[in-house]
Structure 1
């Protein structure tokens, strides 16, 4: 069959857009349903649960989110913990990636595989050890305890990702810095770090999303409602009575906590694309 046949091209184009529409519907429909549910008042939620469009728009759920629980404090906790986790992880991973990517030393390969092995451990496997350590250090119900626990999964990821990027940076940049009398640390922070900006933004954003959405450690290491981050805070929402489901509140809170992530992606989208494609072509 001739591939240049207009009928074949038309059918192919129609099938292509049908697949695109199906994928978009599958991906975006849960977000639409969350927004729709959050804009439906609790009184009308049961009657309109299956309606695609609410009869009236209500922002009561968004107001109630900040009155039935210390959700403002929970948001602050998430911002501080996720930001602190990312900053510490990037600082340590930049140093580690420079050493692993540019220096030769005995046991480097084994160390890389150990870092990779740590990153694939399930959270539940290290929960008891982390719980003992955090209790011993007196970090329960604190930002420090959550940051320390979150770095268990963000640090291996950032080290491994940045090491792969550092390996692709031309050695001529280092040699030129050494000729000018720069030390290894000066070379890293003054020469290589600006080149690593796209990779740092991409890696940091992915680590931030993981820390922002983390649930198990936040639930385990915080018992005080004012010390919790947003995932366990949302999980602990209750209705006005034992017979009322807090679907509206849960969806409103979910929309609120998703907005910062969308803003970050939109602001750094160019850096994200550069960071994802960096290193694809060696040179």
Structure 2
């Protein structure tokens, strides 16, 4: 074979290096395959580490108290029961706290998206006097620690007669979430070329029609993402609700705290604590699963319309 190739005019150096090149390509493919395998194993390990606390919470919520007090950990709910869940909601306060948290969170998220959306459109699409000052003000508000505003917020809500009310807590949550939501939506709005609206206006649409038909569908994924952020922030917020709300109008984080704040003569029932934590997390998981599908469809829809 070598002699035939030499007679055909192929240089000897090329003939000698051809097997080496084949070995190099084979070695490169092996290394890439090994690298992908290692990355996959690393991803699985990270996923297990991330999921394990959630699994342990649910597992502990399903175990009887005797297993939880044992020095030997039980990794599987061998005698699973819903007794801890039943005990956690026995007094009915869970449903009251659930209703308050739902009302406060949904109202805050809806109004926050409206205000943040209008502000993001204004600072991204229009040039007006004081625009830079407004942007800097949003940044400064983000830098302020929430704890430093508790006294002022408490006095303000007390003066307005909104202490311990859903309306007062919703207003504070809106003020808390709006600045960062404005920045999130500003990035989405700035990422959509204004030329799309101009082209639609040249085809006979008004500015409002061009925005609603062209730009707004492309902004839907940004609104969903910002809504998820606002929902999580309001649903899990604890300190502002602790300062403003009372025992009869407590949100779910405050209700959950009641399972840990036991008297000195009574041990903490960790089974009920884990069951209560699972109950608080379930609405968030359901909401995220619903929104995740809409977010994915919104991204695909926006890409096709663009």
Q: Distance in 1 between matches of 2:197 and 2:31?
A: 55
Question: Do the aligned partners of residues 242 and 178 (structure 1) sit closer, same or farther apart at CA in structure 2, a change above 3 Å counting?
Answer: farther
How far 1:69 sits from its partner (Å)?
5.5
**Which residue does 1:205 correspond to in 2?**
228
Secondary structure of the structure 2 residue equivalent to 1:67: coil
Question: Do the aligned partners of residues 220 and 49 (structure 1) sit closer, same or farther apart at CA in structure 2, a change above 3 Å counting?
Answer: farther
Equivalent of residue 21 in structure 1, options 25, 44, 49: 44
Secondary structure of the structure 1 residue equivalent to 2:221: helix
Equivalent of residue 288 in structure 2, options 261, 265, 270: 265
**Which residue does 2:259 correspond to in 1?**
237
How far 1:90 sits from its partner (Å)?
0.7
Q: In terms of mean alpha carbon deviation, does 70-79 or 267-276 score higher?
A: 267-276
> Is 1:121 paired with 2:144?
yes
> Is 1:171 paired with 2:194?
yes
How far 1:106 sits from its partner (Å)?
2.2
Q: Distance in 2 between matches of 1:125 and 1:178?
A: 51
Secondary structure of the structure 2 residue equivalent to 1:165: helix
Q: Distance in 1 between matches of 2:171 and 2:210?
A: 29
Q: In terms of mean alpha carbon deviation, does 135-144 or 12-21 score higher?
A: 12-21
TM-score normalised according to structure 2 size: 0.80
Contact 1:199-1:274 at 8 Å conserved across structures: no
Contact 1:97-1:163 at 8 Å conserved across structures: yes
**Which residue does 1:136 correspond to in 2?**
159
**Which residue does 1:77 correspond to in 2?**
100
Give the total of aligned pairs. 279
> Is 1:162 paired with 2:185?
yes
Question: Do the aligned partners of residues 261 and 159 (structure 1) sit closer, same or farther apart at CA in structure 2, a change above 3 Å counting?
Answer: same
Contact 1:115-1:156 at 8 Å conserved across structures: yes
**Which residue does 1:145 correspond to in 2?**
168
> Is 1:216 paired with 2:224?
no
How far 1:173 sits from its partner (Å)?
4.3
Secondary structure of the structure 1 residue equivalent to 2:119: helix
Question: Do the aligned partners of residues 4 and 250 (structure 1) sit closer, same or farther apart at CA in structure 2, a change above 3 Å counting?
Answer: farther
Secondary structure of the structure 2 residue equivalent to 1:166: helix
TM-score normalised according to structure 1 size: 0.86
Question: Do the aligned partners of residues 62 and 48 (structure 1) sit closer, same or farther apart at CA in structure 2, a change above 3 Å counting?
Answer: farther
- Gaps (5+ residues) in structure 1? none
Contact 2:67-2:74 at 8 Å conserved across structures: no
Q: Distance in 1 between matches of 2:80 and 2:59?
A: 9
How far 1:124 sits from its partner (Å)?
0.4
Question: Do the aligned partners of residues 189 and 7 (structure 1) sit closer, same or farther apart at CA in structure 2, a change above 3 Å counting?
Answer: closer
- Gaps (5+ residues) in structure 2? 1-22
How far 1:252 sits from its partner (Å)?
1.1
- Give RMSD over aligned pairs: 3.0
Q: Distance in 1 between matches of 2:43 and 2:224?
A: 29
Equivalent of residue 75 in structure 2, options 52, 55, 58: 52
Secondary structure of the structure 1 residue equivalent to 2:259: coil
Secondary structure of the structure 1 residue equivalent to 2:78: coil
Contact 2:62-2:271 at 8 Å conserved across structures: yes
**Which residue does 1:30 correspond to in 2?**
53
